[in-house]
Chains A and B, each alone.
Chain A
Amino acid sequence: MNKIKSNKSENEPWQVNFAESSPFELIVACDVLNEIISIGASVLNYNKKIKIAILSSTTNNFLLEYIRLYFFQKGIFAEFYDAPFNNIISEILDVRSSLYSFKPDFTLILPYINDIDEYPDLFADNQQVDNLINNYTQKYIGLINKIKQKVSSYIIFSLFVLPNQRQLGNLEAKYKFSRITMLRQLNLKLAEDMPNDVTVLDLDYLFSNIGKDACFDEVGFFTSKFAYSLSATKEMTLLIGNLISSALGDMKKCLILDLDNTLWGGIIGDDGLNGINLDVNNPLGEAFLAFQRYLLQLRQRGILLAVCSKNDLNNALLPFKEHPNMLLKESDISCFMCNWDDKPLNIKRIAEYLNLSADSFVYFDDNPAEREIVRTFLPEVKVINVPDDPALFVRALDKSYCFEWLQLSPEDISRTDFYVKKGETGTAIETFVNYEDYLKSLEMYGKVSHLSKNELPRFTQLINKTNQFNLRTVRYSESQIMEMMQEQEKNILLFIELNDKFTPFGIISSLILKIDGNSLFIDTWVMSCRAFKRGVEKLAFNSIIENAKKIKAEQIIGEYIPTNKNHIVADLFTDFNFIPDAGEKHNKSSGQSSFFYLKTEDAGSLLHYIQMR
């Protein structure tokens, strides 16, 4: 099936981006959802139903609604049982309680700091403190065992959130009898003694990460008994939602990484091994290295790393093989997908190679247009909202909750010793996606124009910077080009602009055509790598033919001078039906040039999907 999926849902007003919406926007979306649910659930589409019981000593309306909204966006209808305020214990011990008849799939237990009614005396000895800790621990574990006896539910037990106030101030760090220290130790003991199949929710860590002061809403608590602020509730929802999703089998297992300006500063194809930034004495270089260090940690815990980059494969491998500061090695990457095809196609190929479904992937790319393309065509892939500053890459990835697994096993860790696959192109896996439909849906539009002074800098820059799509690698200065512009009877200088729905590419191709008697010679034809595989070269070809016809040239002559960087255009002329010079052997690697000829009258117009403006 070659359908391209789009995740724009016009009919579902609750489909806001959960992570990026404000807490208030989420409430509005929840209200819409509630309204529709109360009309009658038959108008809603969902694939699955889950039952979640929440046992807590504070009000949970918003947590409940947020979680319902979160799951509804995934096509899951969450039904809730919200245990009455302050009744945790009686709920659990009473065999007739409605908790048990509800038969939850998931039981979320959220103890609250105010449940701790006894703290050690000041200067209590360690034994006293330990006794208190043990008593509390046994109480909660006893309750959990009781639940497990009666109901086969997944249990998520939250640790205590330490308060943002201290009786002894900073001194509480030192004294075991102090409240904060006792609570820390209680949390440790609870986590340690909890049965292995219970998920311990570290709410205290989460809130510390966000900032405790932003998580407590005293006014909200006193007026309505809400334990935490709405923004804290939102983050709780994301964490709990991801944990429950893992339990339901929806787990991310592989991180797909771009290369340029993601793993290192700069572009390997343009800047070369010595030009990319992995410099330990440079702030940006250090930021990229810190990111690589974090990625190594992820790899160590069993998350597969894959590379998906628009690059020549050999260029892409160079830093992994030869850069002295590079931390990631070739063997750390389970799949290397480097070619000029667009990312959705390549991600599908990676999925096939690694035998994983698209919803196992997380995608990290510094380029917002690439991210948007992946989001649009592969909505099951989790796309990280990468910040502009590489210093914040680790943070963005860590706070995405995408690798919240329920346990770690030695098998998980050995999974990364997978086969390492490298690919330039897929073989039989060519078209998951109908490429023509894909190109059409990009809504590209382009323009070919004669060069004027305004575009001179960019036109010249392209000629001097481009190494890959460059037939003759002849460099010119701006003044040389200006001279050519003035000799209009000898030279035709064209530039091509490209835009699509996602990116304004601007000027991406420069052409210099020389009029020589009754021939038109392609002196220069360069194109930016960013525009590969879009059909721009066909647009350029059509334009060359048009110009040849205008000046009544009988033939068009092209020359290819091989370098170690431009083999991508070795077959360009033959692909466009030019005839190689019979006199010379068409030698791609010797550095000797080859000539190609096309009779103007023989030239047809090539089909492409770029609208002309």
Chain B
Amino acid sequence: MNNLIKIQQILTKIAKVKGDDLTVESKLADIKGWDSLSQIKLIIALEAEFKVKLATTEIMKLHTVRDIINSIEKNNKC
């Protein structure tokens, strides 16, 4: 299962958005009902699913699905 699908599943759980509606270009802020609590849950979910620890600067830069994928892949390479 590739990273995009996993991330779609996480976002679906958090924001009740349809996974298929999310593309790599989708902006988190555009998701209906997305708020700061959703953002926090996203970080927690990403850390649990991908076993990474995201730094403050990385978290501040997560605006789109592509940003998330890049961040995960960067952490997995290290």
Residues of A within 8 A of B (CB): 22-24, 27-28, 31, 61, 219-220, 222-224, 226, 230
Please, which residue of chain A has its CB at the minimum distance from the CB of B40?
Answer: A224
Q: Which residues of B contact A223 (CB under 8 A)?
A: 40, 43, 56, 59-60
Please, which residue of chain A has its CB at the minimum distance from the CB of B36?
Answer: A224
**Chain A interface main SS type:** helix
CA distance A31 to B48 in the complex (A): 16
CA distance A164 to B60 in the complex (A): 25
Query: Per-residue CB proximity of B30-74 to A under 8 Å, as 1/0?
Result: 000000110111011100100001111001100000000000000
Q: Which residues of A contact B39 (CB under 8 A)?
A: 224
- Cβ-based interface call for B27 (8 A): no
Q: Which residues of A contact B37 (CB under 8 A)?
A: 61
Whole-angstrom distance between the Cβ of B77 and the nearest chain A Cβ: 20
Q: Which residues of B contact A22 (CB under 8 A)?
A: 48
Please, which residue of chain B has its CB at the minimum distance from the CB of A220?
Answer: B40
For the complex with contacts A219-B59, A220-B40, 6 further pairs of A-B residues with Cβ separation under 8 Å are A23-B44, A31-B13, A31-B14, A223-B40, A223-B60, A224-B36
CA distance A222 to B48 in the complex (A): 20
CA distance A224 to B56 in the complex (A): 11
Whole-angstrom distance between the Cβ of B35 and the nearest chain A Cβ: 11
Whole-angstrom distance between the Cβ of A215 and the nearest chain B Cβ: 15
Q: Which residues of A contact B44 (CB under 8 A)?
A: 23-24, 27, 230
CA distance A223 to B54 in the complex (A): 11
**Are B55 and A219 closer than 8 Å at their CB atoms?**
yes
Please, which residue of chain B has its CB at the minimum distance from the CB of A30?
Answer: B41
List 8 A–B pairs whose Cβ atoms lie within 8 Å, in order of A's numbering: A22-B48, A24-B44, A24-B48, A28-B13, A31-B14, A31-B41, A219-B54, A224-B40
Q: Which residues of A contact B41 (CB under 8 A)?
A: 27, 31
Whole-angstrom distance between the Cβ of B43 and the nearest chain A Cβ: 8
CA distance A390 to B44 in the complex (A): 35
CA distance A24 to B55 in the complex (A): 19
Please, which residue of chain B has its CB at the minimum distance from the CB of A222?
Answer: B56
Q: Which residues of B contact A230 (CB under 8 A)?
A: 44
Please, which residue of chain A has its CB at the minimum distance from the CB of B45?
Answer: A24
CA distance A220 to B40 in the complex (A): 8
Q: Which of A28, A31, A219 contacts B56 (CB under 8 A)?
A: A219
Q: Which residues of B contact A224 (CB under 8 A)?
A: 36, 39-40
CA distance A219 to B52 in the complex (A): 13
Q: Which residues of B contact A28 (CB under 8 A)?
A: 13
Whole-angstrom distance between the Cβ of A35 and the nearest chain B Cβ: 8
Name the 9 nearest CB pairs between A and B, nearest first: A24-B48, A224-B40, A219-B56, A223-B59, A222-B56, A24-B44, A61-B37, A27-B41, A223-B56
Q: Which residues of A contact B43 (CB under 8 A)?
A: 223
Query: Per-residue CB proximity of B5-47 to A under 8 Å, as 1/0?
Result: 0000000011000000000000000000000110111011100
Whole-angstrom distance between the Cβ of A339 and the nearest chain B Cβ: 47
CA distance A219 to B39 in the complex (A): 13
Whole-angstrom distance between the Cβ of B55 and the nearest chain A Cβ: 7
Please, which residue of chain A has its CB at the minimum distance from the CB of B41?
Answer: A27
Q: Which residues of A contact B54 (CB under 8 A)?
A: 219
Whole-angstrom distance between the Cβ of B46 and the nearest chain A Cβ: 10
Please, which residue of chain B has its CB at the minimum distance from the CB of A65?
Answer: B37
Please, which residue of chain A has its CB at the minimum distance from the CB of B44?
Answer: A24
Please, which residue of chain B has its CB at the minimum distance from the CB of A219?
Answer: B56
CA distance A286 to B39 in the complex (A): 50
CA distance A27 to B42 in the complex (A): 11
Whole-angstrom distance between the Cβ of A540 and the nearest chain B Cβ: 52
Please, which residue of chain A has its CB at the minimum distance from the CB of B55?
Answer: A219
CA distance A319 to B21 in the complex (A): 69
CA distance A226 to B59 in the complex (A): 15
Q: Which residues of A contact B13 (CB under 8 A)?
A: 28, 31
Q: Which residues of B contact A31 (CB under 8 A)?
A: 13-14, 41
Q: Which residues of A contact B53 (CB under 8 A)?
A: 219
Q: Which residues of B contact A222 (CB under 8 A)?
A: 56
Q: Which residues of A contact B14 (CB under 8 A)?
A: 31
Whole-angstrom distance between the Cβ of A230 and the nearest chain B Cβ: 6
Whole-angstrom distance between the Cβ of A174 and the nearest chain B Cβ: 35
Please, which residue of chain A has its CB at the minimum distance from the CB of B53?
Answer: A219
CA distance A222 to B54 in the complex (A): 13
**Are B56 and A226 closer than 8 Å at their CB atoms?**
no
CA distance A219 to B58 in the complex (A): 11
CA distance A219 to B56 in the complex (A): 6
Whole-angstrom distance between the Cβ of A65 and the nearest chain B Cβ: 10
